[in-house]
Structure 1
Amino acid sequence: MIKSSQNKLLLGLSILLCQLACKSDKIKYNSIVIKEEAAKIDTLKGHPVAGIDSAEISSIGIIDTVLVVVTPHTDAYLNFYALSDLKFLGKYGTSGDSSYQFMNPRYDNQYYVKDNETYFYLTDYRKNLYLKFNLRKVLGDTIVRPEWTVRLPPYLISGYASLLGWRDSLIYGSSISSRYKGRFFVYDIKKRKTSWIKNFSKVDSVDIPANAEAYYYYAQNALNMKKGIMASAMALFKRVDFFMLDSNKIQTSIFESAAKSPIPVVKPGNEMLPYAETRAYYITTYSGNNYFYALCLNKEYANYFQENTAMELHVFSWDGQLKKVYYLNQSYLGFFAVDEMRHRLYAIKYRNENKPAVVVYDLPADINY
């Protein structure tokens, strides 16, 4: 992205955050109604990826032309494979307290390319750190230190927040932490200040305890750094919100058939968390250059753990239109990544014996067919 575009987007985001935090009544909301039956629907069959197996896989993602598989409790957390042929390229990150070691890392598919160098970001939850690495250096040296490190306030990173960075200046995300003061936080790295985007939309089907608000409004977020758009797919609302980072606009895609508010099933004396009978929607998301992808359960949450439950992949354009719905033949899927160049989806498959594997789905070359 050219420098002027970066500056415009960063300036726009700063304006948006100020308006969201100080003048939320001036936010421009726009919504479109999604008729799910009008979307093109297809069924896809996945199969295990040979050569990628571990006793535990915590997350998976793509860094430019490389597939990265995060495997805790092994001799290295990060395992790299070429997307072209899945050839093993190397590994990085042992467990420990040194600056080149991790304690609980997660990769949220945040990377960029500048001057022929590829940089990617990790969150280490145990260390309260947000880190940036040079991919070339990591592949060439198992003890290379990060290019850049930010120590976050512990309460921001608690609850396994989904953290997204913006050009080394801002970090924002969401969590189920009861200490959260809104649907999203935005952390200014230089000023070390936190702003909050208030919870929306309004829940009118149940009285939510103050310490449970973050759970009810929890969402899976993904950022398209080239377009300057953050997409947020909610767990208990069947809706996706698109934040335009160069303005104070929020575009919301609402499904016509879905309830306007979640109807959680709670137990007397413990109203903080909805139970397994509550209908759940978006489980994980992925930001592609071309499309936004969201893995949807669309059933009571208890079904997520059933081996015979097929899941849905919703494919949105970055202007909020639902382009495609795929029914995936595998159940209990978790983090995933999409290789848009080769039209493949890689997902973590959690199995009953607690040994997750990676499965791959071949996607049609043209989403619009």
Structure 2
Amino acid sequence: MKAIIKIQVFILLIAVIEGCRPDGFWEIPFKSVSVSEPVFAGTLHYSNVPEIKQRTIKSIGLVDTALLVIDEFEDPFLNFYGLSNLRYLGNYGKAGTGTGKLKTPKYDNQYSVENGRTFFFLHDAGNFVLSKVDLKSALTDLNYVPKFRVPVPPSLILRHVSLYLTKDSMLTGNYRGTENEDKGRAGRFFAYDLRTRKMNWVKYFPAVKQAVSSVQKPYYYYSHCAFNDEKQVMASAMYLFKEVDFINITSKKNTSVRFLNETGPTPYADDYRPNGETNIFFYQSFGGKKNFYTLCLNGKNKSLFDNTSTASLYVFDWDGSLKAIVKLDQPRLGNFVVDEVNKRMYAVNFNKLPGSTTVISYNLSSLKIF
């Protein structure tokens, strides 16, 4: 037991040291594109998904040909369903702090298929680790422990919004910390090199005329991201700006898609959280192999929590071209995924109206986006 404790302390110490290496800024060339919204492609109507039995759902994800449902409170945390027929495939993820155990699992829809086997990247802020999980082994071996486990600095993993591993062994994602930006310890996105243990930042953008305090900035520039492994592009849909950004991690170039007739937000004095009257735009996102998908409320923050205001699904390709906008009929949608093979969208349903299930789906076959 003492040996196990020493190993855990040693891993944590490494993570702390890694988080203290010198920081700097990435210089990213920007290209801005202003677009007008096309005519809405009608309204899609939901279908219930009674096959999903979990009631306390934290999030859902897509792992190759499986739908992943993460339970918020009960282990095993991860439950898998086949996308072709929604047949239950099994589960993974016992609660705990030991090797192979989970405390706060989060999946950002990054997976790979290698030699016929599917692996997915799972990070756990409670255990300060990023793991590459073999799906088949996770479902069939009760004692399975991922071979690839990377300690992540607590200062990073406790304040990230999303986390992805690039081909160049960098951890990248967006951030919500409040460190001193002047000293190179904060920004809208981070790039942490696992080999050199050096942190780089992409500065907060877009620029605005009014002063924004360092405490306000993480909320002010909040966004929902997704990552495309093939193109090495991270897409980011902003919460308080009607803007979607596409950053190429390899070439370090960015394309910002800004919608016409929209201005930036006005921060509330001494306030770094949205109130009911705050205008919000994009509040959930998902990255597929073909497209980037994001939900836009285009209304007051308080309308997220009523049963009347519905969102629209915006679809972009990974070069930043807007392909479609379609209205969705169900309010209070949460985390979602898009099965591009079967042309269906699955979403967590917080509506709780009689007759609707915890997870619902939309048929996207009528949209010319695939």
1:249 equivalenced with 2:253 (yes/no): yes
Structure 2 stretches lacking a partner, 5+ long: 1-22, 180-184
Number of the residue aligned with 2:234: 230
Number of the residue aligned with 1:83: 83
Distance in 2 separating the partners of 1:150 and 1:68? 22
Q: How does 1:17-32 map to 2 (within 5 A)?
A: 21=24, 24=27, 27-32=28-33
CA contact (8 A) 1:221 1:231 kept: yes
In the TM superposition, residue 244 of structure 1 has moved relative to its aligned partner by 2.0
1:309 equivalenced with 2:309 (yes/no): yes
Residues 177 and 108 (structure 1), Cα distance of their counterparts in 2 relative to 1, 3 Å cut: same
Q: How many equivalent residue pairs?
A: 341
In the TM superposition, residue 86 of structure 1 has moved relative to its aligned partner by 0.3
Structure-1-length-normalised TM-score: 0.87
Q: Which moved more, 1:185-194 or 1:167-176?
A: 167-176
Q: How does 1:340-355 map to 2 (within 5 A)?
A: 340-351=340-351
In the TM superposition, residue 168 of structure 1 has moved relative to its aligned partner by 7.2
Residues 63 and 216 (structure 1), Cα distance of their counterparts in 2 relative to 1, 3 Å cut: same
CA contact (8 A) 1:49 1:358 kept: yes
Q: Which moved more, 1:234-243 or 1:53-62?
A: 53-62
In the TM superposition, residue 352 of structure 1 has moved relative to its aligned partner by 5.3
Number of the residue aligned with 1:93: 93
Distance in 1 separating the partners of 2:276 and 2:79? 34
In the TM superposition, residue 145 of structure 1 has moved relative to its aligned partner by 0.4
Distance in 1 separating the partners of 2:82 and 2:57? 18
Number of the residue aligned with 1:185: 190
Distance in 2 separating the partners of 1:65 and 1:55? 22
Q: Which moved more, 1:355-364 or 1:289-298?
A: 355-364
Distance in 1 separating the partners of 2:30 and 2:74? 46
**For 1:230-260, what per-residue CA distance to the aligned partner results, in whole angstroms no more than 9, with x for missing partners?**
111111110111112332321111101211x
**For 1:137-194, what per-residue CA distance to the aligned partner results, in whole angstroms no more than 9, with x for missing partners?**
1111133101211111111122452111114711111132223610011111122221
Number of the residue aligned with 1:52: 52
Residues 332 and 366 (structure 1), Cα distance of their counterparts in 2 relative to 1, 3 Å cut: closer
**For 1:202-225, what per-residue CA distance to the aligned partner results, in whole angstroms no more than 9, with x for missing partners?**
122x42121221111111111111
Q: Which amino acid aligns with 1:188?
A: D
CA contact (8 A) 1:287 1:293 kept: yes
Number of the residue aligned with 2:129: 129
In the TM superposition, residue 276 of structure 1 has moved relative to its aligned partner by 2.1
In the TM superposition, residue 366 of structure 1 has moved relative to its aligned partner by 4.5
Residues 168 and 78 (structure 1), Cα distance of their counterparts in 2 relative to 1, 3 Å cut: farther
1:194 equivalenced with 2:207 (yes/no): no
SS in 1 for 2:118: strand
Q: Which amino acid aligns with 1:165?
A: L
Q: Which amino acid aligns with 1:111?
A: Y
CA contact (8 A) 1:34 1:321 kept: no
CA contact (8 A) 1:314 1:326 kept: yes
Number of the residue aligned with 1:107: 107
In the TM superposition, residue 356 of structure 1 has moved relative to its aligned partner by 7.8
CA contact (8 A) 1:78 1:91 kept: yes
Residues 184 and 356 (structure 1), Cα distance of their counterparts in 2 relative to 1, 3 Å cut: farther
Structure 1 stretches lacking a partner, 5+ long: 1-19
Identity %: 36
